[in-house]
Amino acid sequence: MTHYSLLQLAAEALLPSRRGPAFEQSELKSRYDVVIVGGGGHGLATAYYLAAQHGITNVAVIERGWLGGGNTGRNTTIIRADYLMPGNVAFFGHALGMWPTLSRELNFNVMFSPRGYLDLAHSEGQLDHFKRRANVLALNGIGARMADLDELRELEPALSIGLEPPIPVLGGLVQDTAGTARHDAVAWGYARGARKLGVDIIQGCEVLGLEIENNHLRAVKTNRGVVRTDTAVVSVAGNSSRVADMAGVKLPIETYPVQAFVSEPLKPILHRVTNLNLGYAYAGQTDKGEIVMGGNAEPMAGYAQRGSPLRIAELTAKLVHIMPFLSRARLMRVWGGIADIATDGSAVVGPSPVAGLHFNAGWGYSGFKATPAAGWCMAHSLASGKTHPLIEPFGFERFSSGAFLDEGGAGPYPWLH
Ligand SMILES: Cc1cc2nc3c(=O)[nH]c(=O)nc-3n(C[C@H](O)[C@H](O)[C@H](O)COP(=O)(O)OP(=O)(O)OC[C@H]3O[C@@H](n4cnc5c(N)ncnc54)[C@H](O)[C@@H]3O)c2cc1C
């Protein structure tokens, strides 16, 4: 461990020229063992674990814009594991378990903050459903519990919680181990770690086509030239169907814009990320004091990275009922991302019908929390040639066999049903 004197620390702080870039730029080579399309958290995590866990370093991450400029840098950073369906319960339980040690593993502070997640029930039906979820999670060793009104008032004194209309609250599902992390630090941490191990990270490089021969992937065509490879992973949330089209693969996915917005900073008032089950409408307070808010996707499918003011008006109207302190807060910023959502609401991960072409898609607006585990499982699958059991339920086959992983009613996409 390095020990610094006060003088050295002062020099570090005052002399920015002593600090190099977070990682060196790479030149695109003409051949790689693995090409990863998309420099978001998922693509970068896959590259990192390929190198760190399996010694596979002849890998390129190809990003058309800048690292984390897609949904990784646009999400509301919620990390939770309160799913219901067997494949999702196991995967997200494992994913949640990877966050507490991630900063240490990457030697880069991703600011994971287990501040807790609270899901409010507004009807007897929702309360019963939450009890079922709490039981399923407990049986799987994933901490989550029910809280009654007295406990909710104690946990979150600033919330207006009661049985009165128009938005009664009957109880809640609490997950104390859930929380948030700094989303772009996750991309930077994985990028730095992967680069140190020899992975090439190429920004400003767009994949424009895929060369396929006898149903085998042979090369990836980019705006900087052709890269030969037998294995590619497409991790381009929001653009998965566009890249799949290049291979003639049809994904069971629709793409929707999703918005998020943030208030001016307030004094600490909201401890947990709190969701209202009225559709989906949530808020969480950042370390800086801003209240980050979000909810359902826009109602119309599309590729615009922005949404309509109507969704913001609808979400804030709901939130203000339960969080009256928001009524006088000003909004500072609004932004949008684009989310790929599968017809059953769960991810689509694994080998495609084209040999050598793998997808890591369909995470909707729930995939930030999945970043470490998705990368880890994908790297394992590529290195061993056998799909990791945790991502097996997300495979393409379920859409032909009918074994859907129907998380629509229980997860964040109730509007699908
Ligand atoms: C508003 C919003 C809020 C969200 N909130 C949460 C949340 O609170 N918690 C949660 O768990 N999840 C949340 N999500 C979802 C989460 O952000 C995503 O599931 C996750 O970040 C996906 O990561 P990724 O690495 O797969 O994709 P991205 O970060 O989108 O990276 C994909 C990259 O691929 C690049 N790319 C696209 N096409 C090409 C091409 N042809 N060639 C080269 N590169 C290409 C893009 O530029 C992009 O950088 C939210 C999403 C949105 C939009």
Q: What is the pLDDT of residues 99-125, one digit of tens each?
A: 999 999 999 999 999 999 999 999 999
Instruction: Assess if residue 94 is contained within a domain.
Output: no
Of 287, 318, 342, the last residue of a domain is: 342
Largest CA distance in the chain: 66
Instruction: Assess if residue 102 is contained within a domain.
Output: no
Helix axes 41-54, 371-384, angle to 10 degrees: 50
Identify the band that residue 1 occupies on the pLDDT scale cut at 50, 70 and 90. very low
* pLDDT mean across residues, the chain: 94
Pair type for strands 232-234 and 34-37:
parallel
Quote the pLDDT of residue 168.
97
Q: What is the pLDDT of residues 7-55, one digit of tens each?
A: 777 777 777 666 677 778 899 999 999 999 999 999 999 999 999 999 9
- Domain co-membership, 162 together with 271: yes
- Domain co-membership, 266 together with 170: yes
Question: Which atom of ligand 1 is the closest one to the Cα of 364?
Answer: 19
The average pLDDT across 256-275 equals: 97
Instruction: Assess if residue 223 is contained within a domain.
Output: yes
First to last CA, the chain: 55
Measured in whole angstroms, how far is the alpha carbon of residue 28 from the centre of its chain? Answer: 27
70 close to 257: Cβ distance less than 8 angstroms: no
Q: Which residues contact 63 (CB under 8 A, 6 or more apart)?
A: 38, 39, 40, 43, 69, 201, 202, 203, 204, 205
Nearest to 345 by CA among 83, 33, 77, 13: 83
Instruction: Assess if residue 16 is contained within a domain.
Output: no
Q: 138 is in which domain, residue-wise?
A: 114-177+255-342
- Domain co-membership, 170 together with 265: yes
Quote the pLDDT of residue 277.
93
Name all residues whose Cβ lies below 6 A of ligand 1: 37-43, 62-65, 69-72, 74-78, 206-207, 235-239, 243, 258-260, 294, 337, 339, 363, 365-369
- Domain co-membership, 337 together with 262: yes
Q: What is the pLDDT of residues 129-181, one digit of tens each?
A: 999 999 999 999 999 999 999 999 999 999 999 999 899 999 999 999 999 99
- Domain co-membership, 206 together with 72: yes
116 close to 144: Cβ distance less than 8 angstroms: no
Identify the band that residue 4 occupies on the pLDDT scale cut at 50, 70 and 90. low
The protein residue whose alpha carbon is closest to atom 48 in ligand 1 is 70
Helix (H) or strand (E) holding 284: strand 281-285
Q: How far apart, in whole angstroms, are the C-alpha atoms of residue 284 and residue 294?
A: 9
Of 321, 342, 363, the last residue of a domain is: 342
pTM of structure: 0.95
Instruction: Assess if residue 46 is contained within a domain.
Output: yes
Amino acid identity at 60: A
Of 306, 324, 342, the last residue of a domain is: 342
CA 2 / ligand 1 centre spacing (Å):
36
pLDDT exceeds cutoff 80 at 307: yes
